[in-house]
Amino acid sequence: MRLTIHREGFKILTYLFIFLASINVLMFYAFPEKVVVTNSVLVISFIVFLLVLQFFRSPIRQFEINDNQIIAPADGKVVVIEEVVETEYFQDKRRQISIFMSPFNVHINRNPISGMVTYFKYHSGKYLVAWHPKSSTENERTTIVIRDKYNHEILIRQIAGALAKRIVWYLETGKEIEQGDELGFIKFGSRVDVFVPLDAKVNVQLGQKSIGGKTVLAEFSA
């Protein structure tokens, strides 16, 4: 699989490289006789840079559009599958499927279906751990509703976790989107909730790993 670096990482990686390089240069000139210390700092700097670099990796994937399927919006682990009352938009019962994204997952978010964005709202909030039951309603988050050409509507919620300090989105109300395209990015650990109709057939299980744009979360009944 080919990998590239996501555009959201360019600035952070550049600043981090300059910062780490500056520290190592200072250490080299300040403590030239302490080779063990300067080498240790160099190794730690290299590891830190690699960890951040892998966070912004962007695997190149091929997507097959299927209007009947709701695909995973993110890489991660399925941590919630339950019937809930969605109170922000639908004011009705829906099936919630949640994916937890650790710092080691690809953090690109993708459109689960094709259609039009009929609702978008950003909410400032707390930074509870992403698996906390109240993170879906109290953390910093976005709410996005997409309606397809058959009038199916699903809701996606990007949720910041304890480490995530910035949610990025590329959608707005009225925008036509395609399944598999990028809808946003969440930096450093987070969660994505998807609310589907109760009659949709769920195709994943708790604890299952998901691949953004590939794993089929559910299928519409008609």
pLDDT band at residue 59, thresholds of 50, 70 and 90?
A: confident
Q: Which of 111, 146, 107 is nearest to 9 (CA)?
A: 107
Q: Where are the beta strands (DSSP E) in the chain?
A: 3-5, 57-59, 69-71, 76-86, 92-101, 108-110, 115-123, 141-147, 153-160, 167-169, 176-177, 182-186, 190-196, 201-202, 209-210, 216-219
| pLDDT, position 221 | 85
Which of 62-66, 74-78, 96-100, 124-128 has the lowest average pLDDT? 124-128
pLDDT band at residue 63, thresholds of 50, 70 and 90?
A: confident
What count of other Cβ atoms lies within 10 Å of the Cβ of residue 121? 12
pTM of the model: 0.84
HSE-up of residue 79 (Cα within 13 Å, Cβ side): 19
150 contacts 220 by C-beta, under 8 angstroms? yes
Choosing from 58, 135, 136, 190, the catalytic residue is 190
Catalytic (active site) residue 190: yes
pLDDT band at residue 124, thresholds of 50, 70 and 90?
A: confident
Please, what is the Cα angle at 181 between 179 and 185, to 5 degrees?
Answer: 125
| pLDDT, position 2 | 66
Question: What is the C-alpha separation between 71 and 68, in angstroms, rounded?
Answer: 10
| pLDDT, position 212 | 92
Residue 145 identity (one-letter amino acid): V
Q: Where are the alpha helices (DSSP H) in the chain?
A: 10-30, 35-55, 135-138
Does the pLDDT at position 187 exceed 80?
A: no
| pLDDT, position 163 | 58
Pairing mode of beta strands 108-110, 115-123: unpaired
* Residues 6+ away with beta carbon under 8 Å from 104: 54, 55
| pLDDT, position 208 | 97
Question: Counting every residue, how long is the chain?
Answer: 222
Task: Using a pLDDT cut of 90, give the percent of the chain over it.
Answer: 61
Question: What is the C-alpha separation between 116 and 1, in angstroms, rounded?
Answer: 31
pLDDT per position as a tens digit, 135-166: 565 678 899 999 999 999 999 999 886 555 57
Residue 199 identity (one-letter amino acid): D
